[in-house]
A and B are shown apart, each in its own frame.
Chain A
Amino acid sequence: MSLSNMKLKVTVWRQAGPNAQGAFKDYDLDNISPEMSFLEMLDTLNEQLNDRGEEPIAFDHDCREGICGSCGVMIDGVPHGPERGTATCQLHMRKFQSGAHIKIEPFRASSFPINKDLSVDRSAFDRIIESGGYISAPTGTAPDANLIPIPKGVADVSMDAAQCIGCGACVAACPNGAAQLFTSAKIQHLNLMPQGQAERWDRTINMVDTMENFFGSCTNHGECEAACPKEISIDFIALMNRDFVKAQLKQRRLAGQVFP
């Protein structure tokens, strides 16, 4: 039904493996429908490559509903491409003009090494979570859920942070390759909640320390917020910084007694 009438030139980063030398390669496509998602355009290109005996382009993707955070490429230098608040899988070709020349690269950050082509290794994010991105509540220990009332406003803001999909666009967008937006969203989701108070200060210090082992430093460019497919606010970075300063004080043996 839809018109398969778009013609495109795409320039794609090809890299055979983690240690291989990569290079850009051009491909021409016609019969792209504006109804296609960006990843369906890549599927179409891959079918054509396979047909002519060229190995298809590796790229990460899974749910294609914008929630799993697997997908993500640089599209003309912008993580997830031109549409605000949209993951690559939810971007549709109707956002491009026929005849467009699109440059597609993996997320670029030294802490996200390339596996192959457009696929990167984001396991540094898992290292940040395992250093403190949880509330220690072993199974079976929980009291009745309504014993801890949480004001709706607090639950809502916590949810605003918690909806981070862990895609890494914030890191890719940052000129410093910093992971402040991801880390602060994860910290504040838990630090805002009454259940998260017991571990609040240790969590903040441990996660920030781990983050700094892998990623660059924040210099307030704000590119992360603009690139985030969930439009997570950089206000969470400010909250994280506040908690980090307080946590540092609390770690001092004497000062920790004075500042509750």
Chain B
Amino acid sequence: MTLESNIPEGAIADKWDNHKFNVKLVNPANKRKFTIIVVGTGLAGASAAASLAELGYDVKIVSFHDSPRRAHSIAAQGGINAAKNYKNDGDSVHRLFYDTVKGGDFRAREANVHRLAQVSVNIIDQCAAQGVPFAREYGGMLDNRSFGGAQVSRTFYARGQTGQQLLLGAYQAMMRVVGLGMAELYNRTEVLEVVVKDGVACGVVCRNLVSGEVFSLAGHAVVMATGGYGNAFYLSTNAMQSNVTAAWRAHKQGAYFANPCYTQIHPTCIPASDDFQSKLTLMSESLRNDGRIWVPKEANDTRPAAQIPEEDRDYYLERRYPAFGNLVPRDIASRAAKREVDNGRGVGPQKNGVFLDFGAAIDRLGEDVIRDRYDNLFEMYDRITDENPYKMPMRIYPAVHYTMGGLWVDYNLMSNLPGLYVLGEANFSDHGANRLGASALMQGLADGYFVLPYTIGDYLAPMLGKPVVTAADPAFKAAETKVGDLTKKMLSIKGKRSVDDIHRELGKVLWDNCGMGRTEATLTKAISEIPAIREEFWTNVKVLGSNESMNQSLERAGRVADFLEFGELMCRDALHRKESCGGHFREEYQTEDGEALRDDENFAYVGAWEWEGVGNDPTLHKEQLTFENVHLATRSYK
């Protein structure tokens, strides 16, 4: 099967407008005849559900949280980009487009990125109208800051809680349509299967997480906005429940998984403290605007930071990248930190961090200014580490944070399975091999508010009056049986090891072999080790309790079972991509100064994998990427 990206004709700046005119429309009175199932209620899912219901579609919303407001978009701290040029500093749609393609290390689809930059301005308008309390200047106008490797100030923010405020805006819009009876919400409900009949996605099988009841929802289209797969690594900044299950089960039904090896390691997280650690905590990248990153010049310097004089400190980012300094993109900052720690210059009790120092900023601006900008982050750091960042530098280290890979989608955000749409972090399309800071919120809301509501009509319009597959269809019954059988199997193993214990083992294999640096040797090793862990899971996992009540071990077991299959695909993708790009750093492929060395000749494509069964080699499909507007170049932040 060839991958049809369905990119519209025309100049890059005209594609989206042309396409919006050319897509088929569904008459307003007919929209209610179409049922759309939205899975996930983060920024992408909630914004899509609200917008589709406002248009008049019959929307069913599924969230595994107790309240849809708890989706992990809520934890995004820094901000959201938009090409508003409110700062009069030369920003434009084209510049945001250019920065995103370049920042993604030329592995994103140009047309999608341009559309993202175009609709970014509408997102800010929409959110402001909803009452999102963005930061303001004294004159009442919106404030912006520079963020994550951009040389213009285009990031809108609400203190250090931008994700929370944007999500609450989308959640409130969604609850409005739920309250008005225009959409139906299924909370504490997890999607465990995507139902495909005659090659078309026609519904999902769910499990009620309180009662254990398994039931089906049928619809004309399924919209998956289920987030990323960073928790495959066990330790990440993702929420504890974030998982790949819905996406993975769609993959096993035929949806292609694209670029799974593109994982983003965020440079500013609190280093792990011990084995009991359940997750890692991100410190917003905005801290790099005022914090200076350094390590002692000499390895194994154990003096406290305050006793290390200026001349014994190495501000290595400022030294190596004078133009961008502490604001280099995430992949570069992360790798640089790893290099310092690997060279024995790490700091902290486990020598597993680097300093992020606000001393100079406090001297220059005063403690009050710094408090105003970052107080909630400083407090959080203090609470976790018992160290006061106003008095001593923070210790930070990179951690898995975001996943650029995801289910393959075309320009309309539809996967290769007709009727299955994928939004937000769950798809692969906009960030290439590396995502820029403050772009995840932008993409989630772009997909949900301003892309899907236009493109989905093109698929639905021809279905008017045609028979639909209902939940009584044998395809649904078979899928329900399959879900029930899987649950029974996990409960019946009654082995010796807990789900978390096995997950930790998988996470360590992935982090050690498919983390910030990868080689052919480490990846081959991981691919040989993962099947054994999978075998261990299916013969020796211990899941207590029953299906018929709330059972959090059972929920986690299903998710870990999927990570055990997914992890192997991630390593296979990383192994096949014999180049370094963005978050995928193959140590064999680097420049003399240790920067990522791309191979545009052979790898300027999207690698979309087709499932061939557990333990079998997946089939690779390629979507060639062309760069007509942003010319292929080596990224340089010097």
> A residues near B, CB below 8 A?
1-2, 16-18, 33, 35-37, 39-40, 43-44, 47, 50-51, 53-56, 58, 60-70, 83, 86, 90, 92, 94, 115-116, 119, 121-123, 125-126, 129-131, 133-146, 148-152, 155-156, 158-159, 162-163, 165-166, 189-190, 193, 195-196
Given contacts A17-B550, A64-B240, A150-B140, contact A145 B276 (CB under 8 A): no
Residues on the B chain within 8 Å of A70, using CB: 65-66, 70
> B residues near A, CB below 8 A?
47, 50-51, 54, 65-72, 74-75, 84, 86, 122, 124-131, 133-142, 158-159, 161, 164-165, 168, 171-173, 175-176, 178-179, 185, 187, 210, 239-241, 273-274, 276-279, 281-282, 349-350, 380, 383-384, 386, 449-450, 453, 498, 500-501, 542, 544-545, 549-553
Distance between A147 CB and nearest chain B CB, rounded to angstroms: 9
Residues on the A chain within 8 Å of B273, using CB: 1-2, 35
Distance between A30 CB and nearest chain B CB, rounded to angstroms: 13
Could you tell me if A141 and B129 are in contact, using CB atoms closer than 8 angstroms?
A: yes
Q: How many A-B residue pairs have CB under 8 A?
A: 223
Could you tell me if B84 and A145 are in contact, using CB atoms closer than 8 angstroms?
A: yes
A-B contacts, 13 of them at CB < 8 A, read A47-B501, A62-B70, A63-B240, A69-B67, A90-B383, A126-B178, A139-B50, A145-B84, A149-B141, A151-B140, A158-B133, A190-B131, A195-B131
Given contacts A146-B142, A152-B138, contact A67 B74 (CB under 8 A): yes
Could you tell me if A159 and B498 are in contact, using CB atoms closer than 8 angstroms?
A: no
Residues on the B chain within 8 Å of A129, using CB: 171-172, 175, 179
Distance between A247 CB and nearest chain B CB, rounded to angstroms: 18
Could you tell me if B66 and A122 are in contact, using CB atoms closer than 8 angstroms?
A: yes
Given contacts A63-B74, A66-B380, A152-B138, contact A1 B128 (CB under 8 A): no
Please, which residue of chain B has its CB at the minimum distance from the CB of A128? Answer: B175
Could you tell me if B168 and A162 are in contact, using CB atoms closer than 8 angstroms?
A: yes
Could you tell me if A134 and B175 are in contact, using CB atoms closer than 8 angstroms?
A: yes
Could you tell me if A146 and B141 are in contact, using CB atoms closer than 8 angstroms?
A: yes
State which of A47, A90, A122 has its C-beta within 8 Å of the C-beta of B500: A47
Given contacts A64-B239, A68-B239, contact A133 B172 (CB under 8 A): yes
Could you tell me if B350 and A69 are in contact, using CB atoms closer than 8 angstroms?
A: no
* Known pairs A35-B273, A138-B54 / 17 extra A-B pairs, C-beta < 8 Å: A17-B549, A68-B70, A68-B72, A68-B74, A94-B386, A115-B210, A119-B66, A119-B550, A126-B67, A129-B172, A130-B176, A141-B129, A155-B136, A158-B131, A159-B133, A162-B133, A190-B131
Cα(A30)–Cα(B385), bound, Å: 22
Could you tell me if B133 and A193 are in contact, using CB atoms closer than 8 angstroms?
A: yes
Could you tell me if B549 and A116 are in contact, using CB atoms closer than 8 angstroms?
A: yes
Please, which residue of chain A has its CB at the minimum distance from the CB of B241? Answer: A62
Could you tell me if A137 and B161 are in contact, using CB atoms closer than 8 angstroms?
A: no
Given contacts A65-B380, A139-B50, A146-B141, contact A53 B501 (CB under 8 A): no
Given contacts A43-B500, A50-B553, contact A65 B75 (CB under 8 A): yes
Could you tell me if A146 and B67 are in contact, using CB atoms closer than 8 angstroms?
A: no
Residues on the A chain within 8 Å of B124, using CB: 145
Could you tell me if B210 and A142 are in contact, using CB atoms closer than 8 angstroms?
A: no
Please, which residue of chain A has its CB at the minimum distance from the CB of B279? Answer: A64
Could you tell me if B276 and A44 are in contact, using CB atoms closer than 8 angstroms?
A: yes
Residues on the B chain within 8 Å of A136, using CB: 176
Residues on the A chain within 8 Å of B72, using CB: 62-63, 68
Residues on the B chain within 8 Å of A33, using CB: 274, 276
Distance between A193 CB and nearest chain B CB, rounded to angstroms: 5
Cα(A193)–Cα(B384), bound, Å: 34
Please, which residue of chain B has its CB at the minimum distance from the CB of A66? Answer: B380
Residues on the B chain within 8 Å of A44, using CB: 276
Could you tell me if B175 and A56 are in contact, using CB atoms closer than 8 angstroms?
A: no
State which of B279, B349, B500, B550 has its C-beta within 8 Å of the C-beta of A115: B550
Given contacts A35-B273, A129-B175, A166-B67, contact A137 B126 (CB under 8 A): yes
Residues on the A chain within 8 Å of B553, using CB: 50, 55-56
Please, which residue of chain B has its CB at the minimum distance from the CB of A17? Answer: B549
State which of A36, A50, A56, A139 has its C-beta within 8 Å of the C-beta of B51: A139
Given contacts A2-B274, A162-B168, contact A65 B281 (CB under 8 A): yes
Residues on the B chain within 8 Å of A94, using CB: 386
Cα(A133)–Cα(B174), bound, Å: 11
Residues on the A chain within 8 Å of B70, using CB: 62-63, 68-70, 166
Could you tell me if A18 and B240 are in contact, using CB atoms closer than 8 angstroms?
A: no
- Tell me which of A61, A63, A136 has the highest count of chain B C-beta atoms within 10 A of its own C-beta: A63
Residues on the A chain within 8 Å of B179, using CB: 129-131
Given contacts A17-B549, A115-B210, contact A134 B130 (CB under 8 A): yes
